[in-house]
Structure 1
């Protein structure tokens, strides 16, 4: 029977792996080798996370406390001596602080495993390798990286809803500029626009913070949403209820109007269609609409406007013009 690895041996090897990943982490073969090592013992993931947390804290704060370096046999890859992890008082404190913050202070990977990009009007449901599901809205770009200790999504543009597979050892973090949204097993949507970032939670709880303001982490529960404007503090969480179901109707290819102005509805339809709607009369745009439409049927919306208001629609091949009769 094979002798069970000691905790110290696992810690030493985890530290060596962190150093190697820092140097060779972009190599798919090295990543696969690390994944295989982590799968060999349930204790290894925790040790690897602690080692990486300490490593990042050293990088960020140059924390070098008292203690001894690891034995030479743990530095089993070339160049490890460039930055040794010190397993003494200073680094223990750094690791503890990093573990309290979890993934808040960690750098994210730069080489994505998967890239998703949708065209105008395209809505996709994409299964992720960890068992999660992403519903990706029109004109959206995502970069996804699955690491042993973290699942990372970078939302470059657009909007996506995530149904996150439960895995408490691997937080699921969405990066939107300097905003971070963290979940373990939940469902939430994130939209990035010129005005800021909107987060809506449909199940469970997420944590939200801005880089540089990690002391003010907000917890958002299902049925609520929060908006983060550029270079401003995070606004208080707002209960949304049925509003979330309406704004996320795009997941089934629909636009739901419930007292929205015609101008607001037009802006929404124009997100999904090459054939754009124009409003020739500003006063017409202030009138309100109720209805449910397909995202790819702006002409049906235009005809509804003419039926419900004193308006006419010029429906052409490349644009639709709404004006008063």
Structure 2
């Protein structure tokens, strides 16, 4: 599916920020060159974003304002982030305000999006979040699904992810937050680098600190203990590479994982077969390969139609 004009404008604004802050050039930066070549609309969108930066600088100069000190990995030009510049004349000066940037993914889609502060977010299938970068804070609202954040260090602007009443705070680290579909209220936090704080708003309980390799599930006033599970975390985050890593999950759980990414759903017809454990590494968009592996390993029978991949016990000959 081709990106919308709004999505292209958002990407162009990010590239304009990076070009201005780092002096990038399409002739010497393969990633920028590839992005421009990927869609004929992108060159025009980038020119508009760069013009917005130039306009912002001229407005500040006319108003006699002094640009703030630039930090590594960020720029005053980040005010155009997401193509969301809003200007209003107040006493001859410019009043600039950002609207939150919305990022989402469809069924089976996985996105990696650089943020204007130098952070990066990987967004799992069927997820939605809003990003709001403020002078004193970086706020992310995870509305549904799952995302992994690689946070640029900036002690003056804490990076806080809100998922329902759950809050996860970091300065410079990497972690994931997932709103579980089963109950709609519990939140799974996994840390791959650094340290984060997690808590539930409105609950009189101390904040919990998680370090790399730690996992925590929060559900309202009920909080599970922190677990040390670096290998489980790496397997759980295999989706960042478009993969599902199974290490003894039941076929029922494996089917649930594949069904998050595909419209053609896996159905385990036999309750006893659903309890069987399985090991393997598969592409998220290849449920048929998983079904074939199950058939070959467990002697199961597979039938496929437009809506479902059914796995059951082989019929006696």
- TM-score tier by shorter-chain length is 0.5 to 0.7
Does residue 209 of structure 1 match 2:209? no
Counterpart of 1:136 in structure 2 is 123
Report the Cα offset of residue 118 of structure 1. 0.2
Does residue 162 of structure 1 match 2:149? yes
Does residue 39 of structure 1 match 2:82? no
The CA deviation string for residues 269-291 of structure 1, in whole angstroms up to 9 with x for no partner, is 00000111111111111000000
Aligned pairs for 1:44-63 (under 5 A) are none
Counterpart of 1:322 in structure 2 is 311
Q: TM-score, normalised by structure 1?
A: 0.66
How many Å separate the matches in 1 of 2:119 and 2:204? Answer: 26
Tell me if structure 2 keeps the 8 A contact 1:278–1:321. yes
The two structures, once aligned, show a CA RMSD in angstroms of: 2.2
Counterpart of 2:289 in structure 1 is 300
Does residue 218 of structure 1 match 2:247? no
How many Å separate the matches in 2 of 1:112 and 1:154? Answer: 13
Counterpart of 2:277 in structure 1 is 288
Aligned pairs for 1:75-94 (under 5 A) are none
Q: 1:283 to 1:215 in 2, by over 3 A?
A: closer
Name the SS for the 1:213 alignment partner: coil
Report the Cα offset of residue 215 of structure 1. 4.8
Name the SS for the 1:274 alignment partner: coil
Aligned pairs for 1:51-200 (under 5 A) are 112-194=99-181, 195=183, 196-200=186-190
Report the Cα offset of residue 236 of structure 1. 1.7
Paired residue total: 227
Structure 1: runs of 5+ lacking an equivalent? 1-28, 43-76, 79-110
From the CA coordinates, give the structure whose radius of gyration is larger.
Answer: 1
Structure 2: runs of 5+ lacking an equivalent? 1-55, 72-89, 92-97
Counterpart of 2:221 in structure 1 is 232
Report the Cα offset of residue 319 of structure 1. 1.2
Tell me if structure 1 keeps the 8 A contact 2:200–2:221. no
Tell me if structure 2 keeps the 8 A contact 1:201–1:221. yes
How many Å separate the matches in 1 of 2:70 and 2:101? Answer: 27
Report the Cα offset of residue 41 of structure 1. 9.7
Tell me if structure 1 keeps the 8 A contact 2:137–2:158. yes
Name the SS for the 1:173 alignment partner: strand
Aligned with 1:268 (options 257, 260, 263):
257
Q: 1:38 to 1:207 in 2, by over 3 A?
A: farther
How many Å separate the matches in 2 of 1:112 and 1:173? Answer: 17
Tell me if structure 2 keeps the 8 A contact 1:279–1:321. yes
Q: 1:322 to 1:130 in 2, by over 3 A?
A: same
Report the Cα offset of residue 40 of structure 1. 5.6
Name the SS for the 1:199 alignment partner: strand
The CA deviation string for residues 127-181 of structure 1, in whole angstroms up to 9 with x for no partner, is 0111000000000001000000000000000000000000000000000000000
The CA deviation string for residues 32-53 of structure 1, in whole angstroms up to 9 with x for no partner, is 98xx7671699xxxxxxxxxxx
Name the SS for the 1:246 alignment partner: helix
